[in-house]
Amino acid sequence: MPDGPTPTIAAERLALLLCPLTRSELKQEGGWLVAQKPDGAGLRYPIRDGIPVLLMDEAALPDGVETLDAFKAKYADEVAG
């Protein structure tokens, strides 16, 4: 993540974006868009140069989850695909 201020994603644009894995809403937290499920412990997607990077391979995993496959297994009921 680059240093400096992170642009805020406009609310009307943010409302159009979903986590590509769980299809849950996203909430901006600093330089990240955070999936709101499961239980607010979803994947965190970086914002680079003001552009959300909604690629699962680029997402940061929640605490206690070591791999994307482990995330999918742990939250199988929440995963869209």
Question: What pTM was estimated for this model as a whole?
Answer: 0.85
**Domains of the chain, first to last:** 11-74 (2.20.25.10)
Please give the structure tokens belonging to residue 37.
Answer: 């499920």
For 58, residues 6+ apart whose C-beta sits below 8 A from its C-beta are 45, 46
Sheet holding 51-52, edge to edge: 26-29, 32-35, 44-48, 51-52
Q: Which pLDDT belongs to residue 31?
A: 94
Whether residue 67 has pLDDT greater than 90: yes
**pLDDT of the residue at 20:** 93
> Can you tell me the mean pLDDT for 68-81?
82
User: What's the pLDDT tens digit per position in 21-44?
Assistant: 989 999 999 999 999 987 767 899
